[in-house]
Amino acid sequence: MVIYVEDSNATISEVLANLQQIFNGVESLGKAVEFGDKVAIPIYQFNFGTGGGGGGGGREGRSSSGVGFALGGTIGPVAVVVLTKDVPGPQGIQIHQFGTNKLGEALAELILRFWEMIESQMGKREKLSSEKKEKLMNI
Amino acid sequence: MQQKEELESLLKTCESAKDSVDAFLRSINDYVAVVEELPAIAKPLVRRDLESNTGMSADEWKAFLERLGTRYSSIYDAAQRVTGALADGGDDTEVAAATATLKEVSAPLREGADVAIEQLETMAVYMEGLPDKINMVPEAFLKGDSRDELISSVPGRIERARALKELLEKTKGELSAVAG
């Protein structure tokens, strides 16, 4: 978003400061994904930055001045809240927070947990013993 | 005479088993290729699912099948030597030496056959349940095309796993008769 103003005055810095304060770090809930007895709700964070500048000049008798400033921002998922429907209270709420540079890992971990839940519903198998595995690998 | 017939039967089983191992190995490679095409987020899931349900990763399945194929080739060669020794007039020493070699090369298969049979059945059962499991994954995590591709490749693998299992059971019986 870019906003141009006709004139520079003291209120611009106040507006900028206020906007930054309003938008920075705002978190928003995303669309809930329901699976089985669980509901996952992604949380997004908005990060805003601002910049601006001004100047003046012109010819004799036709002086001019102006100022401009811009707002830029990013939106990214920061966490997922998983609610277990049948578990009341805080025990039914899990929050999986993503590290900024480990988003993929965190998502994979979340889905792995989800997959494990499916496995438990389908009936998980016993582990293959190391003795049996060795026999297979030496067959 | 009976030994010759048993050897002929073993040789045929080994040939079929080698083809069956190759076919199953190809289907595992196809499976790996399909999994590799999945979205990055679904890939580790599917890999881990195979391992946690069959006890072996795709790489371990490949290693096992490659080894089984090599073992069948060795048994086939050894059985042919016994057949050759019998055809040469049935010199007892030569037949005994060839039979001893057959016994030696087939020992790992006889020792591991029961586990392998069990594992192949485990794989077949896992594959049977896979489509239902895949259909439980929300669309947000696994798109329609990837889902269809994964499901459509399943039936062939069930057949191949069971076919190889039957051949292993047959081989086990035939080896007991021929190599003791």
Check residue B108 and give its pLDDT. Answer: 96
Which tokens is B82 given?
């016994």
Partner-chain contact A119 B54, CB within 8 Å: no
Question: In this complex, which of B40, B67, B118 lies closest to A139 when CB atoms are compared?
Answer: B67
Instruction: State how far residue A120 is from chain B, nearest Cα, in angstroms.
Output: 11
Check residue A71 and give its pLDDT. Answer: 59
Chain A residues touching B132 at Cβ < 8 A: 122
Check residue B91 and give its pLDDT. Answer: 77
Check residue A64 and give its pLDDT. Answer: 72
Check residue A101 and give its pLDDT. Answer: 47
Check residue A41 and give its pLDDT. Answer: 74
Chain B residues touching A122 at Cβ < 8 A: 129, 132-133
Task: Count chain A–chain B contacts defined by CB atoms under 8 A.
Answer: 83
Question: In this complex, which of A34, A115, A138 lies closest to B108 when CB atoms are compared?
Answer: A138
SS3 labels along chain A: CEEEECCCCCHHHHHHHHHHHHHCCEEEECCCEEECCEEEEEEEEEEEEEEEEEEEEEECCEEEEEEEEEEEEEEEEEEEEEEECCCCCHHHEEEEECCCCCHHHHHHHHHHHHHHHHHHHHCCCCCCCHHHHHHHHCC
Nearest Cα residue to A79 out of A24, A21, A40, A118: A40
Which tokens is A133 given?
């595995």
- B110 Cβ contact list (under 8 Å, min separation 6): B172, B175, B176, B179
Looking up tokens 């069948």 gives B72
Cα(B126)–Cα(B49) distance, integer angstroms: 10
Check residue A2 and give its pLDDT. Answer: 38
Check residue B113 and give its pLDDT. Answer: 96
Report how many domains make up chain A: 1
Domain that residue A127 falls in: 2-137
User: Is some CB atom of chain B closer than 8 A to the CB atom of A135?
Assistant: yes
Which tokens is B175 given?
């080896």
* Residue segments in chain B with a per-residue pLDDT below the cut of 50: none
Looking up tokens 């005055």 gives A9
Q: Is the pTM of this model over 0.90?
A: no
Chain A residues touching B115 at Cβ < 8 A: 132, 135-136
Residue by residue, pLDDT tens for chain A (139 residues) are 334 444 444 455 565 566 555 555 556 666 677 767 777 777 766 666 666 666 667 666 676 777 666 656 666 666 777 777 777 766 677 777 665 545 556 666 666 666 666 666 666 556 789 999 999 999 9
Instruction: State how far residue A42 is from chain B, nearest Cα, in angstroms.
Output: 12
Chain A residues touching B137 at Cβ < 8 A: 115, 118
Partner-chain contact B53 A119, CB within 8 Å: yes
Single-letter residue type at A121: Q
Cα(A20)–Cα(A106) distance, integer angstroms: 29
Check residue B179 and give its pLDDT. Answer: 79
Cα(B51)–Cα(B35) distance, integer angstroms: 13
User: Is some CB atom of chain B closer than 8 A to the CB atom of A137?
Assistant: yes
Partner-chain contact B63 A137, CB within 8 Å: yes
DSSP B56: S
Chain A residues touching B52 at Cβ < 8 A: 119, 124-125
Is 0.90 exceeded by the ipTM?
no
Question: In this complex, which of B67, B113, B137 lies closest to A137 when CB atoms are compared?
Answer: B67
